[in-house]
Amino acid sequence: MTQHLDGERVLITGGTGSWGQEFTRQLLRSDSVREVRIYSRGEYHQVEMRREFRSESRLKFLIGDVRDKERLSYAVRGVDTIIHLAALKHVPVVEEHLWEALRTNTIGTQHVVEVAQTHNVEGVLFVSSDKAVDPLNFYGISKLAAERLVIGAGQDGSRTRFVVYRAGNVMGSAGSVIPVFQRQLLQHNMLTVTDPKMTRFFTRKGEVVRLAIQSLRRAVGGEIFIPMMKATTLDLLMRVMINALGDDRTRVDRIDVRPGEKVAELLVSRNESSRTHELEETWVVLPFFPSGALRARYEQARRALFDEYSSDNAPRFSYEELEDLLREEGFLSHLVASPTGPLHFQKDGAVFH
């Protein structure tokens, strides 16, 4: 994998989602990226994405599933880099369909590892989740197992460099709380919340993807990269959004905490902190038995000073910072964008295209 992806062909699994589209957008800004292949199973989302990127001849689409190793192997031919995003990620759905989640999130990741090695792919970036750290739900368990498979593959003398990128919440991703709150306020002038004291990491989609690509470029192989993120309480998030989109009649309904849902998010565990180093904009966690190349690369990097990196002890957004961020990202507006679709104007429950 070249340092700048010059002349490379990049395959993105699950590439029609909000993360995949942002990766595609940023990769195609460089004239040196030869081709971006989108590999996903949803034909409708591929049609939508074709329309979004209609003038880009370097973008190719293939229907397929990471569960299907033979089809995935065909899609990977001639590819230099794989960005692996495909996953079942909604916690309640995963809890109801455990085997299906295992087949996609864990076995599907092993398929990516195996076809990458078979075809001598130069680099694989696996995008993981904070839910993989000390997991309480099966989604987290399946992603933790996938992380271990990816890091383990990079320690067996493989030509392919394997890298994990683990992040918290990204504003606007499918099913995340901010667009849900926005729609609830605009359509019903109400919010549903589990526990206002819950803390969550947040960052811009463009920023987290930029740091993922940067991590991919700088990696030796075997690292877990984690972006430095700020956090907020759900209470502060609600107050900012109600002040902008609600009124004195806005109703807030408490609902039960979902099974496996944490009060605080965790990006680096106590078991990992001793192997964690500080870079300019990210943390990097080294494996238990780092190679000589890994030790040499990070020997000058400062060790992390925390016992764990959670949304409870991370820097917090002020009211003004969170308000500015939400406004810049369009979440305090009456224009509502789906993660992969067009903008709609919403008012009093009506939707205008």
- Residue 73 CA to residue 210 CA, distance in Å, equals 27
**CA angle at residue 294 from 290 to 295, to 5 degrees?**
80
Burial group, residue 223, by CB count within 10 angstroms (0-12, 13-18, 19+): buried
Q: What are the φ and ψ backbone dihedral angles of 14, each rounded to 5 degrees?
A: 60, 35
Active site (annotated) includes residue 89: no
Of the residues 60, 69, 89, 131, only one is catalytic, namely 131
Q: Which of 129, 216, 141 is nearest to 168 (CA)?
A: 129
Tokens of 244: 């902008």
Tokens of 241: 């959004």
Which residue type occupies 352? F
Tokens of 130: 């904070």
What residues have CB less than 8 Å from 199, skipping those under 6 apart? Answer: 231, 232, 233, 234, 263, 264, 265, 310, 311, 312
β-partners of residue 268 are 309
Q: Which of 121, 132, 143 is nearest to 9 (CA)?
A: 121
Tokens of 106: 């864990």
- Residue 299 CA to residue 62 CA, distance in Å, equals 42
- Residue 278 CA to residue 125 CA, distance in Å, equals 20
Q: List the catalytic residues.
A: 131
